[in-house]
Amino acid sequence: MKLVRYGKAGTELPGLIDAEGRLRDLSGHVGDIAGSVLLPDGLAKLAAIDPAGLPPVDGPVRLGPCVGGVGKFLCIGLNYSDHAAETGATVPPEPILFTKATSAIIGPDDDVEIPRGSTRTDWEVELGIVIGAVAKYVDEADAEAHIAGYCLINDVSEREFQLERHGTWDKGKGCDTFGPIGPWLVTRDEIADPADLAMWLDVNGHRYQDGSTATMVYKPAFLVSYLSQFMSLQPGDVISTGTPPGVGMGQKPPVYLKDGDVMELGIAGLGNQRQRVVAYRG
């Protein structure tokens, strides 16, 4: 299934994309794509619904983040061997963990805001994992059963805040609008191998990132197991798993986002995003 949330920000309704690519309303069956709906039993109930019997949603409509009520937005750094090489870093012996504030979450096509004082706002196309069942001290062999599905994420980053303002990376990762998620949550059964998906990102029509999840060092099942050793993972938690090479910081000379730029990105089977970049004017 491809599950979505649509409508005005903060009041999104649940929906799904049918086999013909048409948006159908799910609000007669569930209140949101969130929480217990993402448990295995909840997803099984949705899968049993005939999409043809759901009301179609016509006309242009805003898609919101594909998951509602996200409790934790966890991210993995330097998880692609080729991206680590472009930054001059080595792949760490254990995953690097940082968090994005849940207030950073926006829809897949919403505007991305350059923060006040920023000169190094950057892009990162990433595979997102959506947790579907509570995971605590889970073995890697059992970890996939705790995944509801996958989604596309743009891990927008402010490099000066992240790397030069001391302390954790979180300062440059959790700014408002720095977490576009969606367009849809694709359930686990539809993705044959999450570690073999083409991924790309353009800025103003120029292809900067053109990679694959195949160069991911720590794979989704391992990451779920690993993180569950430190904290319980709850239904609706999101894990952003790292980015391939081609980020702005890695260009020679570096290239960063500016007011008016347009980012377009996608992952095979997980849809596309498009964001206009706007300067903070508050």
40 and 134 together in one domain: no
What pLDDT, on the 0 to 100 scale, is given for residue 160? 95
Q: CB-based contacts of 281: which residues, under 8 Å, 6+ apart?
A: none
How would residue 92 be classed by pLDDT, with cut points 50, 70 and 90? confident
Establish if 93 belongs to a structural domain. yes
Establish if 63 belongs to a structural domain. no
Across the chain, what does the average pLDDT equal?
96
At 163-188, the pLDDT tens digits run 989 888 999 999 999 999 999 999 99
252 and 139 together in one domain: yes
Task: Assign 3-class secondary structure to the chain.
Answer: CEEEEECCCCCCEEEEECCCCCEEECCCCCCCCCHHHHCHHHHHHHHCCCHHHCCECCCCCCECCCCCCCCCEEEEECCEHHHHHHCCCCCCCCCEEEECCHHHEECCCCCEEECCCCCCEECCEEEEEEECCCECCCCHHHHHHHEEEEEEEECCEEHHHHHHCCCCHHHHCCCCCCEEECCCEEEHHHCCCCCCCEEEEEECCEEEEEEEHHHECCCHHHHHHHHHCCCCECCCCEEECCCCCCCHHHCCCCCCCCCCCEEEEEECCCEEEEEEEEECCC
6 and 83 together in one domain: no
Cα–Cα distance for residue pair 129/192, rounded to 1 Å: 14
| Mean pLDDT for the stretch of residues 24-44 | 97
Establish if 59 belongs to a structural domain. no
What pLDDT, on the 0 to 100 scale, is given for residue 167? 84
Establish if 45 belongs to a structural domain. yes
101 and 33 together in one domain: no
Establish if 66 belongs to a structural domain. no
129 and 244 together in one domain: yes
| Mean pLDDT for the stretch of residues 221-240 | 98
| Mean pLDDT for the stretch of residues 55-84 | 93
At 187-220, the pLDDT tens digits run 999 999 999 999 999 999 999 999 999 999 999 9
271 and 212 together in one domain: yes
230 and 96 together in one domain: yes
Count up the domains in the chain and report the number. Answer: 2
37 and 92 together in one domain: no
182 and 128 together in one domain: yes
User: Residue 13 belongs to what domain range?
Assistant: 2-53
The pTM of this model reads 0.96
- Percent of the chain beyond pLDDT 90? 92
Q: Do the beta carbons of residue 33 and residue 4 sit within 8 Å?
A: yes
Establish if 238 belongs to a structural domain. yes
78 and 20 together in one domain: no
Cα–Cα distance for residue pair 238/233, rounded to 1 Å: 9
What pLDDT, on the 0 to 100 scale, is given for residue 119? 95
211 and 273 together in one domain: yes
How would residue 31 be classed by pLDDT, with cut points 50, 70 and 90? very high
Establish if 62 belongs to a structural domain. no
17 and 152 together in one domain: no
> Range with the lowest mean pLDDT among 4-13, 88-97, 116-125, 267-276?
88-97
| Mean pLDDT for the stretch of residues 143-152 | 98
Establish if 65 belongs to a structural domain. no
CATH of the domain at 129: 3.90.850.10
What pLDDT, on the 0 to 100 scale, is given for residue 234? 98
